[in-house]
Amino acid sequence: MQKDKSSLRCLALLALLSSTFLVADLGADEGMWLFNQIPFETLREKHQFVPDPGWAEHLLRACVRLSSGGSGSFVSPEGLILTNHHVGSDALQKLSTPEKNLLAEGFLADARERELKCQDLEILSLVEIVDVTARVNGAVPQGADPAAAGKARREAMAVIEKESKDATGGKSEVVTLYQGGQYHLYRYKRYDDVRLVMAPETDIAFFGGDVDNFEYPRHDLDICLFRVYEGGKPARVEHYLRWSQSGAADGELVFVTGHPASTKRLNTVDHFRFLRDVEYPSMLAMLARKEITLQQYSIRGLEEERRARDELFGVQNSRKARRGVLAGLLDPAILLEKSRTEAEIRAKVVANPQFGATLEDWERIANARRAFVGFYDEYQFLENGRAFWSSLFGTARTLVRLGDEREKPNAERLPGYRESDMESLEQQLYSTAPIYADLEKVMLSDSLTSFATALGAEHPLVRMVLAGRSPIDRAANLVDGTKLLDVEARREVAKGGRKAIAASADPMIVLARAVDPYAREARRKYEDLVQGVEREAYGRIANALFKIRGTAVYPDATYTLRLAFGKVAGYVEGGQNVAPFTTLGGAFEKHEKHRGMPPFQLPKSWLDAREKLDLSTPFNFVATVDIVGGNSGSPVTNRKGEFVGIIFDGNIQSLVWDISYTEEAARCVAVASPSILEALRKIYGAAAVVEEILKASRG
């Protein structure tokens, strides 16, 4: 293993030094490929893999996206879906009560009819991808400035989505790829009746907690099983993954099919500087504040801890991930490599006017980012809602915007409020998931404080929002005064439309209404001065890039389905070999080493089952496959398309993958298929689920 990796490292180094270093290092397993642009040639040349016809289509159809933010896959024809525990945790949190804490205790439906219906979980299964670039760009009138062009494109996208929805009934989204280089229509089948089948205890799903998060070796059973229903019955699905009982082997080629949420690898260097000096510092300051606030709330008692659990996990997870990215952005070596690559692309662009880009495109992006700095805080606080850390405010804003947007022609509406979005919007808006007034107050007063200190307490917008009160008083006044905790009250307001909104005296609605013009103005500035300009400039750069690199360019991640591949492989850290696989036995060793102190406390179910388990069963493993956040829950498959594991993390070295792929020690982390079956069988007694999976795999 070591030898292979050393030579790969040499290759990468050579490539870096070579003046022709323009394309992604093909020696490395880099790439989050579009399903309609799979690099079959690379697969054949590098991995001697020529898939059967239908192989890609099958993977595409077997994979799903969850509205709680993550990926999953069908593992039986009866709509059984496997995802991560930390992807399902939003649903687990919402289904929990003070008496029954599903996150802590886990869950197993002992019969189909006792599978628990989730309040607002939506699952999308991709059906089709259509390239609509020409149509979107064709909608832009000649000579339009970037703002007008942006508007024309947004309207064209809305029209395409509506047509697709009307024609097929499926959820339809036009996705902007290559920062504006291409536009593809994604058509999904939508499931809104999703039921919880099985979840282990958080203690083993997130064994090692925040300490081990983004670390390796790991011992986590980060899984959760849902089932989608149609017409009150388990949905019948054609495409599902067959289960490999032996799992993957060291060195084996594996594939990951999932929804990486966001990468910034194709950014210009000036855009990276913006991320480094403005966006990440701002985001990390917010996350640190939120983390402390949620911790302070959580330590009040066990019930408070339960209420804040999922939100706190999300904040901590983001904080750790983004600290890693910022460290990468502050590493001069990484930016130096980006600068070199950029310099060479710029040289090619200058030498080849026919590529259609000019150096001004880079300058336009730099200027757009510079302009953004001027209203960054207002945009984040008002339009992105950073001032209003409260689900009740979110509900109020949705109602206010729904009232306004519904009166507009579909193509002119804000994204999220178009006809094709209504089912999803209503599922969220009328969710019966619990909202805790005490937690809302704590969060809202924290974010109002942050808003007041960022803009200055005497800023007119701050004065308007605080209405003469301190942030603490104002949050209490809003949360105590609103009726939006009640789902029926929400329906009532929505039904009344714009008039009901205008007449409402509900303080949260009054606030959302008052803020909205300013939020929309910040959004308009962003769309016109930043997004519009960048889409055009990045679009031209991307087109030049296609001409320079051929097909060896994949777009940055967009929370849409991608295919990635690589090898199961250990790595070296601090001079030590890190083996690719851990075992179930290792979890018990770790528990003992830490004397069962949290977060290294195995649940009772595991301690009780120890004797029955095959402790040599592979538990977690690492591979070179290119993933980022959003890939959580993605299936790992082998050449035969069999399920060999499920992605749940990357190691600490992989955090820079947001901006730059490296293969030396960065790895994705997965739960191995054999350990899942072993646990379901011997720890959780989930015989029916195991039988369903195995039967599907035989069938």
Interacting residue with a copy of itself among 231, 332, 409, 574 (CB under 8 A): 332
Closer CB to a copy of itself, 160 or 656, in the complex: 656
Which one, of 275, 279, 523, lies nearest residue 384 by Cα? 523
Q: According to CB under 8 A, which residues from 402 to 441 bind a copy of itself?
A: none
Residue 285 touches a copy of itself, criterion: CB under 8 A: yes
Give least dist CB 687 to a copy of itself, A: 36
Kindly state the smallest distance separating residue 578's Cβ from a copy of itself, in Å. 17
Question: Which member of 245, 427, 428, 470 binds a copy of itself (CB under 8 A)?
Answer: 470
Measured from the CB atom, the residue of 112 and 469 that comes closer to a copy of itself is: 469
HSE of 626, CA atoms in CB hemisphere, 13 A? 27
Which residues, numbered 591-620, are part of the site for a copy of itself (CB under 8 A)?
A: 599
- Smallest gap from Cβ 457 to a copy of itself, in A, equals 6
Which residues are CB-neighbours of 319 under 8 A, at least 6 positions away?
284, 287, 288, 291
Nearest to 203 by CA among 604, 685, 674, 584: 604
217 touching a copy of itself, by CB under 8 A = no
Q: Answer yes or no whether residue 288 interacts with a copy of itself by CB under 8 A.
A: yes
Stretch that binds a copy of itself, among 139-147, 179-187, 448-456, 685-693 (CB under 8 A): 448-456
In contact, 289 and 346? CB cutoff 8 Å: no
CA–CA distance, 386 with 375 (Å, rounded to integer): 14
Which of 469, 498, 523, 549: binder of a copy of itself (CB under 8 A)? 469
Q: Which is nearer to a copy of itself, 284 or 552 (CB)?
A: 284
C-alpha distance from residue 419 to each of 168, 387, 424, 600, 636 (Å): 13, 28, 10, 48, 35
Using CA atoms, how far apart are residues 379 and 520, in angstroms rounded to an integer? 9
> To the nearest whole angstrom, how small is the minimum distance from the Cβ of residue 149 to a copy of itself?
31
Residue whose CB is less far from a copy of itself, 464 or 502:
464
Give the shortest CB-518-to-a copy of itself separation in angstroms: 20
* Burial class of residue 101, CB neighbours in 10 A (0-12, 13-18, 19+): buried
The tokens for 515 are 């803020």
Q: How far apart are CA 429 and CA 444, in angstroms?
A: 19
SS (H, E, C) 526-587: HHHHHHHHHHHHHHHHHHHHHHHHCCCCCCCCCCCCEEEEEEECCEEECCEEECCEEEHHHH
The answer to whether residue 464 forms part of the interface with a copy of itself (CB under 8 A) is no
Decide if residue 281 touches a copy of itself (CB under 8 A). yes
Q: Is the CB of residue 242 less than 8 Å from the CB of residue 697?
A: yes
* Torsion of Cα atoms, 245 then 246 then 248 then 253, to 10°: -90
Which of 34, 103, 326, 690: binder of a copy of itself (CB under 8 A)? 326
**CB 313, min distance to a copy of itself, A:** 15
Q: Which is nearer to a copy of itself, 163 or 303 (CB)?
A: 303
Residue 277 binds a copy of itself (CB under 8 A)? yes
Looking from the CA of 683 toward its CB, the CA atoms found within 13 Å total: 25
Q: Does 181 bind a copy of itself (CB under 8 A)?
A: no
* Cβ atoms 29, 557 nearer than 8 A: no
Q: How far is the CB of 290 from a copy of itself (least distance, A)?
A: 9
Number of residues that bind a copy of itself (CB under 8 A): 39
β-pairing verdict for 123-131 and 224-230: unpaired
Q: Is 284 in the site for a copy of itself (CB under 8 A)?
A: yes
Instruction: CB nearer to a copy of itself: give 428 or 470.
Output: 470
The answer to whether 86 and 65 are in contact (CB under 8 A) is no
DSSP secondary structure letter of residue 683: T
The verdict on 456 binding a copy of itself (CB under 8 A) reads yes
Residue 64, beta-bridge partner list: 72, 125
- The span from the CA of 694 to the CA of 75, in Å, is 9
CA distance 226 to 199: 9
- Cβ proximity to a copy of itself: between 458 and 488 the closer is 458
Residues 6+ apart with CB under 8 A from 638: 244, 248, 252, 253, 254, 255, 644
CA atoms within a 13 Å half-sphere pointing along the CA-CB vector of 212: 24
Using CB under 8 A as the binding rule, whether residue 370 contacts a copy of itself is answered as no
In angstroms, what is the minimal distance from the CB of 117 to a copy of itself?
A: 34
Interacting stretch for a copy of itself, rule CB under 8 A, among 133-141, 324-332, 429-437, 613-621?
324-332
Our finding on whether 574 is near a copy of itself (CB under 8 A) is no
| Range in contact with a copy of itself (rule: CB under 8 A) among 28-36, 154-162, 274-282, 384-392 | 274-282
Which of 71, 121, 123, 124 has the alpha carbon at shortest distance from 91? 121
- 209 vs 394, which CB is nearer to a copy of itself? 209
CB of 574 to a copy of itself, least distance (A): 12
460 is an interface residue for a copy of itself by CB under 8 A? no
568: which strand partners? 623
Q: Which is nearer to a copy of itself, 535 or 591 (CB)?
A: 591
In the region spanning residues 99 to 138, those forming contacts with a copy of itself, defined by CB under 8 A, are none
664 binds a copy of itself (CB under 8 A): no
| Alpha helix positions (H), 299-430 | 302-329, 332-351, 359-378, 391-405, 422-429
Which of 629, 628, 632 lies closest to 72 in space, CA to CA?
632
CB of 66 to a copy of itself, least distance (A): 28
Q: How far is the CB of 427 from a copy of itself (least distance, A)?
A: 35
Closest to 110 (Cα-Cα) out of 693, 686, 679, 690: 686
Taken in order 526, 528, 533, 536, the sign of the CA dihedral is positive
Please tell me whether residue 377 binds a copy of itself under the rule CB under 8 A. no
Site for a copy of itself in 191-210 (CB under 8 A): 209-210
Q: Which is nearer to a copy of itself, 409 or 468 (CB)?
A: 468
Q: Give me the least distance between CB of 212 and a copy of itself, in Å please.
A: 10
The only residue of 140, 472, 487, 552 in contact with a copy of itself, by rule CB under 8 A:
472
Of 252, 473, 492, 527, the one binding a copy of itself (CB under 8 A) is 473
Which 503-542 positions form the footprint of a copy of itself (CB under 8 A)? none
3-state secondary structure 42-81: HHHHHHCCCCCCCHHHHHHHHEEEECCCEEEEECCCCCEE
Options 85-93, 143-151, 282-290, 665-673: segment touching a copy of itself (CB under 8 A): 282-290
Q: Does 452 bind a copy of itself (CB under 8 A)?
A: yes
Give 250-285 as a 3 state SS string.
CCCEEEEEECCCCCCCCCCHHHHHHHHHHHHHHHHH
Which residues contact a copy of itself (rule: CB under 8 A)? 209-211, 273, 276-277, 280-281, 284-285, 288-289, 291-292, 296, 299-300, 319, 326-327, 329-333, 449, 452-454, 456-458, 468-473, 599
